Structure 1
Amino acid sequence: MCARYALYYAPAPTDPLWALAAAWLGRDPEADAAVAQPDLPDIAAVTAEPRLYGFHATLKPPMRLRDGAGRDDLLAVARAIAAAAPAFDLPPLEVAAPHGFLALRESRPCPPLQALADAAVAWADPLRAPPDAAELARRRGSGLPPAAEANLRRWGYPYVFATWFFHLTLTRRLSSAEHALYRPAAEAHFADVLALPRRVSEICLFAQPTPGAAFILDARISLAG
């Protein structure tokens, strides 16, 4: 059985960002294949965590499915979400450092993006199995603000709805010295594609086949128009 599923945004395979991101992280999650990384010190270690999840922005965070629910149930929900959500343009991207890690973020607010994430969280939640004690402890870490704690209790994840933010993760959390190395490298690596016109026209179902395994892009679901 599959350990976890998630609903993500991922660039279209024809978008040059997709290939550049696979190279940066060292893995293409759609082909489930390793990709040569840039020649940077310790790049494999710095990108190990985001490589496991595949290049993406979270809509519905990874979850185990409740008893009696399966992949096809979640795929049906994803199709319903997509049918109700018109395609839209993503603002230009930029390299940012939220919470100490590097990520690509939108350069200005994008209400349709927030609406898509909100729908993914709410519509797919009836299929979610409750997190166990170990997962709750890991999510809490050294503590959560009250709103994030409330989300964790209700939705199984701290950063949803008002606390959600769009980000395509590039690294683990970095030290100051690592930021000085990797941020300019990321800006150079992605420089030619961040401002390209980019249409959000699908959501993606990602699957983690077994605990600890890398996530695989299982299905792309087209939005309505």
Structure 2
Amino acid sequence: MTFTRLAIYHMPEGDLGEFGSAWLGWDARRAATVPRPQIDNLPASPQELTSTPMRYGFHATLKAPFRLAAGHDLDDLMRQIELVCDHLAPFTLDLELRADWSFVALRPRNRPAELMALEQALVTRLDHLRAPLSPQERDRRNPDKLPERARMHLEHWGYPFVLDLFNYHLTLSNSLSPETEEQLREALAPVIAPLIAEPMPVRSVALLGEDKSRHMRVIREFPLLGRETAQ
């Protein structure tokens, strides 16, 4: 299969992963649409609330969608991801449901060193495999509206919110008005609470490709094989 773009995500496992895929209506692991859950007191239909994140699946971005550089192929990329993951340790994240920045999302209460090391390694050590942004791709990021540091990252790494500006988040909605955002958070809270009662393991990363329908689908998952730090 030919992919328009590739990306590296963390994709939750287990009950949380299953719920997130169902809520968004797209299971990127199975590359299939899935039935939406029935949730009370939603401010609009799930389809209306999630039309943008739906085609990406339930994920947190580690390396944003990109095109492969000339002279490289998917096998090159997978070998490099495997080399990175062989030396990075698994960890856990304590999540909370947030309504901020006009989105409803799950975000970690803190950012462990292992998380920051994972994102930094994937962004920097694979960047030679990323094709430069086209003028259209660059313009879609509205560089003139970005803070200076984010604009520098966009020019250097192809995405503004990396490294010191990276924030792990599992998106659950489109961009919403403040009122709708808070109503959605309140509706989702009792459903999600038991799914995040315990810290979420981060044991692997996933390489995904954008297919001709513009949906992201998993190509391969890579376990983190480094030694865990004693708590």
Question: How far apart are residue 37 of structure 1 and its match?
Answer: 1.7
Q: In percent, how many aligned pairs have the same letter?
A: 35
Question: Among 111, 118, 129, which residue is 1:127 paired with?
Answer: 129
In 2, Cα distance between equivalents of 1:197 and 1:153: 35
Deviation string 1:93-147 (CA, Å, 9 cap, x unpaired) is 1111342111100112222101100100001100000111111111126600000
* 1:4-43 equivalence runs, <5 A: 4-12=5-13, 15-39=14-38, 40=42, 41-43=44-46
In 2, Cα distance between equivalents of 1:114 and 1:180: 29
In 2, Cα distance between equivalents of 1:99 and 1:66: 33
Aligned residue number for residue 65 of structure 2 = 62
CA contact (8 A) 2:143 2:151 kept: no
- TM-score, with structure 1 as normaliser: 0.93
SS at match of 2:17: helix
Which stretch shifts more, 174-183 or 142-151? 174-183
CA contact (8 A) 2:95 2:199 kept: no
- TM-score, with structure 2 as normaliser: 0.91
SS at match of 2:218: strand
SS at match of 2:219: strand
SS at match of 2:82: helix
* 1:109-120 equivalence runs, <5 A: 109-120=111-122
* 1:41-80 equivalence runs, <5 A: 41-80=44-83
* 1:144-159 equivalence runs, <5 A: 144-159=146-161
Aligned residue number for residue 229 of structure 2 = none
Question: How far apart are residue 195 of structure 1 and its match?
Answer: 2.2
In 1, Cα distance between equivalents of 2:153 and 2:123: 11
Letter in 2 for 1:43: P
Question: Among 100, 104, 107, which residue is 1:105 paired with?
Answer: 107
Aligned residue number for residue 220 of structure 2 = 219
Question: How far apart are residue 189 of structure 1 and its match?
Answer: 2.2
SS at match of 2:195: coil
In 2, Cα distance between equivalents of 1:98 and 1:132: 30
CA contact (8 A) 2:209 2:218 kept: yes
Q: Relative to 1, partners in 2 of residues 1:104 and 1:176: Cα closer, same or farther, differing over 3 Å?
A: same
> Which 5+ residue runs of structure 1 have no aligned equivalent?
none
In 2, Cα distance between equivalents of 1:185 and 1:163: 30
In 2, Cα distance between equivalents of 1:115 and 1:34: 33
SS at match of 2:172: strand
Cα RMSD after superposing both structures: 1.5
SS at match of 1:172: coil
Aligned length: 221
